[in-house]
Amino acid sequence: MDFGPYLLLASLEGLVTAAVLSLTALGLSLVFGVMRIVNVAHGEFFMLGAVLAWAIATPIAGNPALGFALAMVCSPLVVGAMALLSERLVLRRLKYEPEATIVATIGMLYIIQQLALTFYGPDARAVQAPFDWRIQFPWFGYSGYKLSVVGASITLMLLTWLVLARTRIGLMLRATQYDGETAQAFGIPIDRVYCGVFAVGAMLAAVAAVLIVPIQQAHYLMGLDPLLLSFIVVIIGGLGSLKGTVVAAVVIGMSDGIISVFFSPTLAKILATLLVAMVLVYRPQGLFGKAVR
Amino acid sequence: MTPADTTKRVLMLHAGVIAALFLAQFVLPEYHHGVLARVMVLAAYATGYTLLFGYTGLLSLGHAMFFAAGLYGAGLTVYHLGWSPPAGFGAGIAAGLVLSVMVGFVALRTTGVAFMIVTMMLAQAVYLASLYFGEWTRGDEGIVLTQAMRTFEIAGATIDLSLPDERFNAALILYACSLLICLAVVRAPLGRVMVAIRENEDRTRMLGYDTFQAKLMALALSGTLSAAAGASYALLFGYAGSTFASIHYSIYPLLWVLLGGAATTLGPLIGTLAITYMIDVTSGFTSAYLLLVGVMLVLLVLWSPNGLLGALRDRKLAWLP
Amino acid sequence: MAALEPLLTTRSLSRRFGGLQAVANVDFQVQRGEIRAIIGPNGAGKTTLVSLVCGRIPASEGTIVFEGEDITGLPAHTRVLRGIAYTFQITSVFANLTCHDNVALAVQRTLLSKQRWGRLDRHALTAEVMAALERVGIADLAAVPAGKLSYGHQRLLEVAMGLALNPRLLILDEPTQGLSDAEIASFCDLVRTIAEEATILLIEHNMHVVMSLAHAITVMNNGAILAEGDPASISANADVQQAYLGG
């Protein structure tokens, strides 16, 4: 294959990675932005979404689209409920103290991972894609499902943006993010905002995971990579900045796809993690964010 | 109680603990003899960790990189260059010192959550590097040091670190040194400044202390002790693999220290011992030991952030260091 | 007689926070041995000015000269070693440490700076800690955790920590805030004895304290110096009355 088509293929793959990553990172970013806490168990909510998608879709006979649709609805709901529960039982008791919260979410990471291993097992399993079209380019055919993942992601991102920018809920979130105490004084139920945001953040990760399982198999250890990549995206995009998160997700997703075609993926990851550390130290507002204060 | 009395009690307690560990080798059955040797090496790692986390208040999520620096510093030089175990041990310590100073200059520009994430990312880079240079490290599979590589002569005596007795006593020497260094530091002026930084860094600066320098010293000390434990692990157990650089090995010392008591000298040993045996016992009927780790972390953070010895110090024994 | 070189001089010292000019072009001098009070309405820039002097915040423009040397670029901890001690407006003693350990941190700093690589002499440490606590009158509380002290005692502990640094310039930021009248009276006596060895820069709202202690008063308003002079001339100054009463 010539260089041009090769690059096109790599870009398409990158676009799919970016689409899934944007959703996952958006969840992390939302939680960090509004609640000022880092959820290390975020990747496990992603994994849980994928594993549940398999558990829900597989027993459904007949058209694969049916099982997939059911998984798309139920899996995020279950994950959201679990996030809600852990928020009530653990995070709220810690008063969202940042360092204690990180340690607690690390604990949650281990718990979720082990439960998945116990009940789901060590195997990697795929979910059948809801449809099986191929789009024929002059040089190669490309999965229509993968492109629809990009479309779904863009739709969801727009929806999130609309909610944040145009609705009362969005206004409450922005007020809480800006100044929690004042927001509370103005009668915003901070407590409910927090648990809602935490649940929605986890659900975004679960949706991303359901979208990915027809492409990439569900496995109990699959949460670590999305967690690290989301960290990278959120940090480089600027902590808590929605726009920055999307831009960074596209940049990282695309470059991850393209770089891993040409370079060793391990080397690419090493460079990416070092870059993130440096950004956090020398430019904490992110590469695309403006300086705060 | 006068300060002199306190000093006497503290010294006697620590000497007593070391003596008890020494005597344990004569009474313990073979299996527990081996477990305790491993616990002492890991407790030395946890002791290094608590200097930074417990006393200075800096929560690192990346200490596995220092442990791994020691592990590979010793493992690779012995395996590939044919260095003797003492030389390899020195190489491991040197690697830990260099790495911790470098990490300190970068990571200590941040505080709180950012410090946690930066250390985690840097450790992840080290872990990935251990996979990337698989030609030398053999990645996850790891390198195995043979009995011959772990044998050396000193003052006419031949010491084979693969033998249980030699291994136990080498582990004991390592742990005793780490414990005494930790004790000396926390009772020295530096220790007082470390605690002050944990309590209120701005105020400490306004008392004339260069807090960056003090934190850098605490990190270098903590990283080097961790590396010494890593180097010992490679030499005593004859194995160096990427697992030890993974995020889990950054979390374990946090868990051990949280359980035993964060700002206590003996807490790391108690925590390491307790968790090791808990995992050992539960592994009899379930492989789900990570569940135990997770549940313990959550429960400790929720109910007992000061750990076992911390609670004891708060209630009864205020003189505990 | 030629005027002695002032202990502290600032030249066109400025500090901006975003668009806000907290301290603007301040030329300010403190003479050796005096008790200087800085007064002014809230937000006048008093705390910002002394924070610039002690190095807690960097200056946007201008220079600070202490003992004839330019210290503008020095970090806060180095300025402490040169003899500038700051006691915090909001009491920030180490709540979990005992009074003894709080003061020991300050004493240790001065002992270690005298003998760079020597061992810390524990007896000298204890003696100096107790002396500092004695001076402010809370020696009997040495073993009590600072967080358990009454508010007034915490303020005294702050002063003891400042004293233990052997400062040439002791900056007291609203030291009498929250103290009872009896405590204020004995506090004023304490400040007078400290003034025998150190120059004192005092931010204070209580005009009674200012008038009874200060040798000279600087009045600030909107980040600039409005008036300066001895207590009598300041209390007669029309501008000052305007700033306090009319502004």
Q: Tell whether the model's pLDDT for residue C202 goes beyond 50.
A: yes
A123-132, A216-225, A263-272: which is most confident: A216-225
Q: What type of residue is C140?
A: D
B240: pLDDT confidence band, cut at 50, 70 and 90? very high
Q: Please state the domain extents for chain C.
A: 1-81+168-247, 84-166
Mean pLDDT on B286-303? 83
Task: Give residues with Cβ within 8 angstroms of C68, minimum separation 6.
Answer: C5
pLDDT of residue A141: 80
Nearest to C30 by CA among C225, C238, C244: C225
A220-224, B86-90, B158-162, B311-315: which is most confident: B86-90
pLDDT of residue A34: 86
Give the residue, B198 or A142, on which the prediction is more confident.
B198
Q: B206 vs C108: CB contact, 8 Å cut-off?
A: no
| CATH code assigned to C84-166 | 3.40.50.300
* B contact set with A (CB within 8 A): 59, 61, 106-107, 109-110, 112-114, 116-118, 121-122, 124-125, 128-129, 131-132, 247, 251, 254, 258, 288, 290-291, 293-298, 301-302, 305
Report percent pLDDT > 70 for chain A.
Answer: 95
Q: Is some CB atom of chain C closer than 8 A to the CB atom of B208? A: yes
Q: C1-81+168-247 domain in CATH 3.40.50.300?
A: yes
Q: What are phi and psi of C228, to 5 degrees?
A: -150, 145
Q: What is the pLDDT of residues A113-151, one digit of tens each?
A: 999 998 988 888 888 888 888 888 887 888 888 889 999
Q: What is the pLDDT of residues A151-161, one digit of tens each?
A: 999 999 899 88
Asked if domains C1-81+168-247 and C84-166 share a fold, the reply is yes
Q: Tell whether the model's pLDDT for residue A96 goes beyond 90.
A: no
Q: B3 vs C105: CB contact, 8 Å cut-off?
A: no
Q: Tell whether the model's pLDDT for residue A238 goes beyond 60.
A: yes
Q: Is some CB atom of chain B closer than 8 A to the CB atom of C157? A: no
pLDDT of residue B175: 96
Q: Tell whether the model's pLDDT for residue A289 goes beyond 70.
A: no
Q: Is some CB atom of chain C closer than 8 A to the CB atom of B199? A: yes
Inter-CA distances, A5 with A1, A137, A142, A201, C36, Å: 7, 9, 12, 37, 78
Q: To which residue do tokens 């539960």 refer? A: B282
Neighbours of C198 (CB within 10 A): 21
Task: Give residues with Cβ within 8 angstroms of B238, minimum separation 6.
Answer: B144, B145, B146, B147, B149, B150, B161, B162
Q: What is the pLDDT of residues A197-207, one digit of tens each?
A: 999 999 999 99
Are the C-beta atoms of residues B257 and B54 closer than 8 Å to each other?
A: yes
pLDDT of residue C116: 55
Q: Tell me what ipTM this predicted complex has.
A: 0.86
Mean pLDDT on A179-199? 84
Element (H, E) at C227: strand C224-229
**For chains A and B, what is the number of CB pairs under 8 angstroms?**
109
Which of C54, C77, C98, C121 has the highest number of chain B CBs within 10 A, making it the mutation to test binding with B? C77
Gap from B64 CA to chain A (nearest CA, Å): 16
Report percent pLDDT > 90 for chain C.
Answer: 21
Sequential DSSP letters for A237-250: H-TT-HHHHHHHHH
Q: Is some CB atom of chain B closer than 8 A to the CB atom of C47? A: no
Inter-CA distances, A127 with A54, A210, B272, Å: 6, 9, 42
Q: Which domains does chain B possess?
A: 3-315 (1.10.3470)
Inter-CA distances, A194 with A30, A108, A171, C4, Å: 10, 18, 14, 62
Residue B81 has what DSSP assignment?
A: H
pTM of the model: 0.88
Mean pLDDT of chain A: 86
Are the C-beta atoms of residues B254 and A103 closer than 8 Å to each other?
A: yes
pLDDT of residue C240: 75
Q: Is some CB atom of chain B closer than 8 A to the CB atom of C96? A: yes
A260: pLDDT confidence band, cut at 50, 70 and 90? low
pLDDT of residue A248: 87
Q: Is some CB atom of chain B closer than 8 A to the CB atom of C112? A: yes
Q: B116 vs A108: CB contact, 8 Å cut-off?
A: no
Gap from B159 CA to chain A (nearest CA, Å): 39
pLDDT of residue A132: 80
Q: What type of residue is C10?
A: T
Q: B61 vs A117: CB contact, 8 Å cut-off?
A: no
pLDDT of residue A47: 95
Mean pLDDT on C117-122? 67
Q: What are phi and psi of C15, to 5 degrees?
A: -145, 125
pLDDT of residue B146: 83
B65: pLDDT confidence band, cut at 50, 70 and 90? very high
Q: B199 vs C96: CB contact, 8 Å cut-off?
A: yes
A196-200, B205-209, B220-224, C101-105: which is most confident: B220-224
pLDDT of residue A35: 86
Q: What is the pLDDT of residues B1-56, one digit of tens each?
A: 567 788 888 999 999 999 999 998 999 888 898 899 999 999 999 999 999 999 99
Q: Tell whether the model's pLDDT for residue A1 goes beyond 80.
A: no
Beta bridge partners of C172: C87, C202
pLDDT of residue C87: 87
The C-alpha atoms of residue A15 and residue A21 are separated, in whole angstroms, by 10
Q: To which residue do tokens 């990172």 refer? A: A25
pLDDT of residue A291: 47
Q: Which of A99, A111, A274 is nearest residue B113 as measured by Cβ atoms? A: A99
A50-54, B132-136, C146-150, C224-228: which is most confident: A50-54
Q: What is the pLDDT of residues B153-181, one digit of tens each?
A: 888 888 888 888 889 999 999 999 999 99
Q: Tell whether the model's pLDDT for residue C223 goes beyond 90.
A: no
Q: Tell whether the model's pLDDT for residue A181 goes beyond 90.
A: no
Q: Is some CB atom of chain C closer than 8 A to the CB atom of B306? A: no
Q: B192 vs C56: CB contact, 8 Å cut-off?
A: no
**Would you give the distance in Å from CA B61 to the centre of its chain?**
13
Angle (deg, nearest 10), helices A265-282 and B112-132 = 160
Q: Tell whether the model's pLDDT for residue C118 goes beyond 80.
A: no
pLDDT of residue B286: 66
Mean pLDDT on B295-312? 85
Mean pLDDT on A48-67? 89
Mean pLDDT on B74-99? 93
Q: What is the pLDDT of residues C48-87, one digit of tens each?
A: 899 999 998 888 889 999 998 899 989 999 999 899 999 8
Q: Tell whether the model's pLDDT for residue A293 goes beyond 60.
A: no
B113: pLDDT confidence band, cut at 50, 70 and 90? confident
Give the residue, B293 or A28, on which the prediction is more confident.
A28
B89: pLDDT confidence band, cut at 50, 70 and 90? very high
